[in-house]
Amino acid sequence: MNKKIVAIDGPAGAGKSTVSKLVAHELGYTYIDTGAMYRAVALKVISQNKPVNEDLIVDVAKDIDIDLRYEDGITKVFTDGEEVTGKIRTPEVSKAASDVAKSGFVRQRLTELQRKMATRGGVIMDGRDIGTHVLPNANVKIYLTASVEERARRRCEELKAKSLDVNIDEVARDIQARDKQDMEREIAPLKQAEDAVLLDTTGMSIDEVVNEILKLCSD
């Protein structure tokens, strides 16, 4: 089977990351974790031991090389040839990643790197604008969604598992607000690509969703 480029888009709480990782593992594909890429930039930024500002972020991002590879059953992150898979998961990096993610230059640079990795094939990437903007020529495009009520229920289960007190109505309102924000943003808004398969996961288990995507990837 030829190794394909798979793009999965959808609104918040649809389960994109969860199923993307599972499908990638089943296929032996690289899961391109875009969040990890922002963290990799942040790690290099704070390693400069200088005040974090836009000039420093741009200076670091313009020459950085980030690569994600599927090795030993997991996706590993490399920055300028050095594996940083564990180093990017610290609170300090998380904080800096928020500043890095605001930079339009970084977004543009990471899009270039994501497209470069995709040329190898055998990759899965999820987000809000993957099939429409980042990888418009992907072999398989899926728009993964679920009802607001279903997404709110799933989110509440996650939060309750962490012993957090939640109100499902408030969670649902937050999700609706996030949907509106994502769909109305000026740059690369959330929308279903014309050639994407709509997969509504309301009432489906994670295994059922994974199996549906595996079928689409085998066609």
Q: In this predicted model, what pLDDT tens digit does every residue of 96-146 receive, in sequence order?
A: 888 888 888 998 999 999 999 999 999 999 988 899 999 999 999 999 999
Identify whether residues 144 and 94 lie together within a single domain.
no
Site of tokens 């690569």: 67
Q: Are residues 114 and 199 in the same domain?
A: no
Closest CA to 78 of 39, 20, 25, 127: 39
Tokens of 194: 């014309």
User: Measured between alpha carbons, how far is 145 from 150 in angstroms, rounded to an integer?
Assistant: 10
End of a domain among 97, 120, 143?
A: 120
CA distances from 106 to 36, 179, 187, 202 (A): 13, 23, 14, 35
Of 76, 96, 120, the one marking the end of a domain is 120
- What is the percent of the chain where pLDDT is above 70? 100
Q: Output the domain CATH number for residue 156.
A: 3.40.50.300
pLDDT in tens, 146-184: 999 999 999 898 888 888 888 999 999 998 998 888 888
Helix axes 54-61, 34-46, angle to 10 degrees: 110
**Whether residue 169 sits in one domain with residue 213:** yes
pTM: 0.84
Report the residue count for the chain: 219
Range of the domain at 115: 30-120
Pair (113, 187) in one structural domain: no
- For residues 127 and 217, membership in a common domain is answered with yes
